[in-house]
Structure 1
Amino acid sequence: MTREQPLALPYYEDPAPGTGALPPRAWYPASDAARLSLNGRWGFRLAPAAQAEDESFARPDFDAAHWETLPVPAHWVLHGHGAPAYTNTLYPFPVEPPYVPTENPTGDHRFTFDLPGDWPGGGDAALRFDGIESAAKIWLNGEELGVFKGSRLPAEYSVGHLLRPEGNVLAVRVHQWSAASYLEDQDQWWLPGIFRDVTLLHRPEEAAGDFFVHADYDHRTGEGTLLVDSNHGSRITVPELGLDIAAGEAASIAVEPWTAETPRLYEAELATAGERVPLRIGFRTIVIEDGVLKVNGRRILFRGVNRHEFHPEHGRAVDLATMRADLLLMKQHNINAVRTSHYPPHPAFLGLCDELGLWVIDECDLETHGFVKLEDWRGNPADDDRWTPALLDRAARMVERDKNHPAIVIWSLGNECGTGRGLTAMAQWIRARDPHRPIHYEGDRTCADTDIYSRMYADHAEVELIGRREETPLEDPALDAKRRAMPFILCEYAHAMGNGPGGLSEYQRLFETHERLQGGFVWEWIDHGIAQRIADGTPYFAYGGDFGEELHDGNFVCDGLLFPDRTPSPGLIEYKKVIEPVRIEGDPGSGTVRITNGHDFADLSHLAFGWAYEAEDGTVAEGALAVPPLAPGESTELKLPSPAHTHGGEAWWTVRAVLAADTAWAAAGHEVAWAQLAAVRPEPPAPQPPAAPRRGEGGVLVLGPGTFDAATGELRHLRGFQVTGPRLDVWRAPTDNDVAALSPAGRQPALLWRKLGLHRMRHRIAGVEMSGDALTVTTRVAPAASDLALRTVYRWTATDDRLRLTVDVTPEGDWKVPLPRLGVRLGLPGSLGDAAWYGGGPGEAYPDTRAASRIGRYTATVDALQTPYVRPQENGARADVRWAHLRGEDGAGIRIDGEPAFWFTARRWTTEQLDAAGHTPGLVPGERIWLNLDHGQQGIGSASCGPGILPRYRLDAAPASFSFTFSVPDNGQ
């Protein structure tokens, strides 16, 4: 895509890096040098085009009194100036690099500040911008400082000679679109503005310049070696280790190493004649040895997440408290790694990773994904020499800024940029600057420039082949041999969009089985829903298309383990269970438990173990479990104590591992791992005398506590409670993974279901018969325009106070499409708004997302049973339910016992209403509660961007038989 260009492009269309900035250097949060935050309320003016206004606003005497104000950091589109826009891969402007549209929203910013009275004289000063999207020109007191590009990387400008004691005027012109936008197509909202901190830094004479902390660890000797490269003469002191060395001098001493599990940091100081900089040093060594990535001599397993920076009200302007809250949630949910998709985060985030302990893949601010829509990535900047200086500039600014963080174990060149000469140049520069960290990039399947074989969304079967080093070979034997010898990670997998992801357990077993498979990073951490309200004030979260975008990718921006308000989703609860670093297993009924330490470095001395013998009505007995401090990888088998008093019904052992003492990320008692082992299986209830059906007045049939419509055989009343149904139900409101918009048509279950008509099944009554002690209703349930059907027989029997339904389903025809669900649906009075159940909980679960579901007795309101996915969809099912009870405020209600155990869902709207709603305010509670009692559910999978369900979780149409018993307990129990 070459075209004639003018001799001089405007700066915002020039593919070159920014201008005027000082050389990049290491970032540190504090020193004894003076600094002044310039965050606050800035004057703001928005223009529709880059050149709609002249540059006179940068003059100190310019009158901006009529301007509006805007907080900095911020995105102007989140403060009433224009609107956000979301695309996944498509550029929201014509692809004509390096040109951008004339319609280019441009925000002029002005800030006036005085120097503090104690601001030092002498030396210099640096003005630092930590993030501006997407390009900016900067002035101070009317003097142009330069042009900022590289939205999520810092730039510093020398300004000491321009500062005044009072009335300094900082002016910044920010363009939404620039040549840099072609490098920042990163599956997120397009949000222009100065969105990270602006800081004035005093630079004393002989201030600390750039420095590189090398802190290696030898796992064989237990010694750490410290060497600090510095541009200025400096000394480094580590009081706890008794070290006082000059820059460039190496010292070796016994240390405790840094790992994500044991994040040991040593407080240190780098001192020059003009500045003292506090440091936190972690000793660790990274190598790839025998095809395995190792830290401190041991293979590590990433239990990771991809993390965009996002806040539902502030966009990418994320404060330190929110960053810390995110990391605490990660640690509390057993997550040990973060890929900074797809740009370096705010630098303070990396300091928190050092402190709390997470492995980090630091990814460069680079993605050109929109070019994938053009044949052979035509015009891709990653393979265009005009752009290589910008790519190298971004690589250097990332590495130099972040190089002193022990948490960073891998550098990533970027994401979804195809391949090209620019990426090769970046890899060569990074390898020369920091040869001790491996390089990652997923987009080149040959791994020509990388040290790690990385893939996105490979299915379980392919991952297993890769684990065995038996993957499909490359055409080039040398590259194939090189790649086959590399460690492997799934840099993205388990797309956490809506209800899901499914199949996590099976991936984790593969990671634990094959040494080469070193884990993965779930996509992603948080839903990017933007907080909005409808006219009556009801809140909701907006997604693509809600702001009138011409092009958008809908709710694909909501694909995280957290809801936008940072409430954990069921997917995060499931992920915590799947990746727990202690495996607790046992054979049902054996009373023996096997405990395996799955940590990479830590023994089990930091955990306390306990057991509980539990029955339906609560804990029968409990106590501590003496588990030795197993080293990583070690196992032990222990006999569980026999309780003094057992229970006649079903019973379980629950074994838990909790923190034995407070940590930086959770308090003592925080649960890390758990398992349930069956102790006693339930016995069937004793049979009761049957009741016979009879005809009543008004065209009804009476059987035990139930009253039926004589013509249709449908239950109408149950001991005073009005009932609608039950009827066979096979439809669910499609999940995002059912819709699977990015998958081929053959892997889009919802498309197949709708095409067949499963969302509009019709019920034909074939017969209503009373015979002996049973009422039998035969129906044919089928979609229009098809000869496929489900022959369904409802057989009702009863005692005086209990009504039993047995459902037999026989498919007719050649069913090639799986069912969404198989069960019955019935309507109950809306007053029965409190639920109790015995079975899986406390949260939702589906066939391939049920690892975190534990057996117990639970209560919740019907409203609380709902999972508020940003786009409404099937949700809220509880698994393995033995019985469920819907009650009113007076305690009276209807109880359902199932045989076998069933899936239980209750909501105040129908499945059809749930299916039709685009946002949560579209779900309006009705007068009835709709109850689904399911014998089977289709699995969830990850097909919204990844593989579909595993075959074992497919709900094929097949003969089935299941039973429910309905009753109205007198005591409300």
Structure 2
Amino acid sequence: MYPSPQDLQDLIDHTSPIDNRPVVMCEYAHSMGNSTGNMKKYWDVIYKNDRALGGYIWDWIDQGIVKTDENGVEFLAYGGDFGDKPNSGSFCINGVIASDRTPKPAMYECKKVNQPVEISEINAQKGEFKILNRHHAINLSKYELSWNITENGVVIKQGTIDQLTTAPFKTSALKISYKKPKLKAASAYYFNIEGKLKSNELWAKKGYIVFNEQFKLNYTVKEATTVKSASALNIIDKENVITVENKNVKLQIDKGSGYITSYISKGTSLIASPLKLNFWRAETENDEAYRKATKKQNELDWMHAGDQFKAEQVAVVKNENGKAIIDVLGTIEKPKTEVNLQYTILGNGQVKVSYTAKINDRAPNVPRIGMQFDIPNTFQNVTYLGKGPQPNYADRNYGAHVGLYSGNVNSMNYQYVYPEEYGNRTEISWFKLENPKGKSVLVSGEDKLNFSVIPYSTQNLQEAKHTNELVNRDVFTVNIDLNQTGVGGDDTWSPGAEPHDEYLIKPGTYQYQFYLLPSDLKTTIKNPKSIKF
């Protein structure tokens, strides 16, 4: 029960010389809370070995019961909420679908790794692929293949293939002819393929997507040109604060914390709390489990590390030609970390944040590397270019494809019964938060980011045990991350709950850069990746 992917492979290897019986995992992939990482790794082993038949995810559906608190607020209850002793707490909340049959984000990962057809790339730029039929008894004639090419998430070419005849357990060549798109600077291109039902089935309607694949088209495109601003900036350097301002922008940096504490663009305040360092995520149930099992409670030192950052030097290093640069050097005492933050402000109100953190070798592993701020909750409309549409993490993003997605902060994420970290997206080029008046702030990464926008504070998620304990505020919390550790989930009670080694964030030096780009109805930014300074 509950082997790791490597344990499964080792079992097959060690017994193969004398045993050819099938191998089935009677329980695996413990899907408790924000979990079910490593599914692709498991199925890479299963597909590789004829003896491996698969396994039984624990489990299919949550067994939560609706309960109403003293304030009339409904929530899903679990073990211990009915005066029952002894109990197993939230160990009845570990399905890939919720008690009300809502699919959790993990469901989409499971669907992808188990899809009955696999398409692999020979040369996507030439439209050359291979298609493998994993069905046991039917060919692929029941599917229609549709394809498209996207430019920065927008479809620019598309087509269909009606005739698929690949026999069971056979591989066929797949050729899709198309003309190379006209390439634009600082743009990304992807080739997407979907297999859809041609007719209704007992279990799904015509047009249902049974399998899909995505391939990055690695064209050589021109880089973004450097942006300049002719609007001069006025800098007021006082004892405790540096103010950078003109008619477009007013930005303040606290000299004690080293953080941007106010950012106003054309009269609209874009942050409701300081833009601060953040190394913590509200613990998942897997996090709690492995820290207890491995005695890694020192990782809790990261919880308030961003608040303990001390700026030792804050200095204006440049102010000319519509560009100001402020440099911040400082330290976190525990866990010992040296940090350099550099803010570049243009006269048009755009800001670049450059981040370097040197984490001491003796420090514990880090839940996330990033920055966090609050924004007024009127900025509830979200658009992003990255992996989605469902939330995804480093070890659970195989079933998420790069695309242009939009949603509302209050409804775009699945909320777990046991409050914990949730709502992350990976491989983000940029994301935008917009209010009903068309005012927005767009965050664009120099390289790929992780991001999330959550109605609740990280501390509230950390402390709450049920959803009725979560407190709605007049702000949302925004996380702009270089990286976040995986969710793990081989089990939820032993060292096996910890994310696999390649999905951990270990002590070292981490650097990233991102841009804060205000806009409104008059200043729409067509391609955020074209902005660089």
Give the C-alpha shift of residue 574 in structure 1.
1.0
- The C-alpha deviation readout for 1:925-969, integer Å capped at 9, x for no partner, is 112211001101111111315733222111112211111100111
1:781–1:593 Cα change, 3 Å = farther
Partner of 1:355: none
Tell me the secondary structure at the aligned position of residue 864 of structure 1.
Answer: coil
Label 1:557 to 1:680 Cα distance change in 2 as closer, same or farther (>3 A): same
Match of 2:365 among 794, 806, 818: 818
- Aligned pairs for 1:562-711 (under 5 A) are 562-586=97-121, 587=123, 589-616=125-152, 618-625=154-161, 628-643=164-179, 645-648=181-184, 649-680=187-218, 683-689=222-228, 694-696=234-236, 699-702=241-244, 705-711=249-255
Q: 1:927 to 1:683 in 2, by over 3 A?
A: farther
Looking at structure 2, the residues matched to 808 and 662 of structure 1 have their Cα atoms a distance apart, in angstroms, of 54
Q: Deviations over 1:357-411 (max 9, x none)?
A: xxxxxxxxxxxxxxxxxxxxxxxxxxxxxxxxxxxxxxxxxxxxxxxxxxxxxxx
> CA RMSD of the aligned region, Å?
2.2
| Preserved CA contact (<8 Å) 1:818 1:938 | no
Deviation at 1:647, TM superposition (A): 4.7
Q: Say if 1:659 and 1:668, in contact at 8 Å, map to a contact too.
A: yes
- Larger Rg, first or second structure (1 or 2): 1
Using a 3 Å threshold, how does the CA distance of structure 1 residues 744 and 490 change in structure 2: closer, same or farther? farther
Checking the alignment, whether the CA contact within 8 Å between 2:143 and 2:162 is kept in structure 1 is: no
- The one of 494, 497, 500 equivalent to 1:950 is 500
Deviation at 1:568, TM superposition (A): 0.3
* Matching of residue 871 in structure 1 with residue 418 in structure 2: yes
Distance 1:674 1:722, change over 3 A: closer
Q: Which has the higher contact order (CA 8 A, sep 6+)?
A: 2
Between the aligned partners of 2:458 and 2:116, the Cα distance in structure 1 is 38
Match of 2:448 in 1: 901
Change (3 A) 1:583 1:914: same
Whether the 8 Å contact between 2:351 and 2:516 is mirrored in structure 1 is: yes
Partner of 1:293: none
Find 2:285's aligned residue among 722, 729, 736: 736
Report the counterpart of residue 61 of structure 2 in structure 1: 526
1:938 aligns with 2:485: yes
Separation (CA, whole Å) in 2 of partners of 1:667 and 1:643: 33
Structure 2 residue matching 1:725: 3-state secondary structure: coil
Partner SS state of residue 667, structure 1: coil
Aligned residues: 498
Instruction: State which of 15, 28, 41 in structure 2 corresponds to 1:493.
Output: 28
**Separation (CA, whole Å) in 2 of partners of 1:841 and 1:598:** 25
**Identity across matched positions, percent:** 23
Quick check: 1:718–1:968 contact (8 Å CA) kept in 2? no
**Could you tell me which amino acid in structure 2 is paired with residue 913 of structure 1?**
N
- The answer (yes or no) to whether the contact 1:726–1:826 under 8 Å persists in 2 is yes
Aligned partners of 2:222 and 2:460: how far apart in 1? 40
> Is 1:828–2:375 an aligned residue pair?
yes
Aligned to 1:173: none
Q: 1:806 aligns with which of 344, 350, 354?
A: 354
Question: Matches of 2:357 and 2:429 in 1, distance apart?
Answer: 21
Preserved contact between residue 263 and residue 269 of structure 2 (Cα < 8 Å):
yes
- What amino acid does structure 2 have at the position aligned with 1:527? D
Letter in 1 for 2:128: T
1:711 Cα deviation (Å)?
A: 2.1
How far does residue 462 in structure 1 lie from its aligned partner after superposition? 1.4
Q: 2:304 aligns with which of 754, 760, 764?
A: 760
Q: What residue is the counterpart of 2:531 in the other structure?
A: none
Deviates more, 1:644-653 or 1:687-696: 687-696
Query: CA separation in 1, counterparts of 2:236 and 2:162?
Result: 65
For residue 863 of structure 1, give the secondary structure of its aligned residue in structure 2. coil
Distance 1:792 1:643, change over 3 A: same
Conserved? CA contact 1:848–1:941, under 8 Å: yes
- Aligned twin of 1:962: 512
1:708–1:738 CA distance, 2 compared to 1 (3 A): same
TM-fit CA distance, 1:636 = 2.1
Matches within 5 A, 1:453-532: 456-470=1-15, 484-532=19-67
Q: How far apart, in 2, do the equivalents of 1:782 and 1:604 lie? A: 61
CA offset at residue 771 of structure 1? 0.6
Query: 2-side partners of 1:490 and 1:881: how far apart?
Result: 35
2:254 and 2:280 mapped to 1: Cα distance?
Answer: 27
SS in 2 for 1:510: helix
- For structure 2, the residue ranges without an aligned partner over 5 or more in a row are 319-323, 526-533
In the alignment, the residues of structure 1 paired with residue 222 and residue 168 of structure 2 have an alpha-carbon distance, to the nearest angstrom, of: 41
Instruction: Specify the SS of the correspondent of 2:160.
Output: strand
Distance of 1:665 and 1:659 partners within structure 2: 11
Kindly report which structure 2 residues correspond to 1:232-631, keeping only aligned pairs within 5 A, or say none.
456-470=1-15, 484-586=19-121, 587=123, 589-616=125-152, 618-625=154-161, 628-631=164-167
Which residue pairs with 2:530 in the alignment?
Answer: none
Give the match's secondary structure for 1:865.
Answer: coil
Distance 1:706 1:580 in 2: 52
Amino acid at match of 1:771: V
Partner Cα distance (2:103, 2:125) in 1:
34
* Change in CA separation of 1:612 and 1:714 when aligned onto 2, cut-off 3 Å: same
The match for 2:430 is 883
Equivalent residue letter for 1:658: K
Judge conservation of contact 1:589–1:677 (CA < 8 Å) in 2. Answer: no
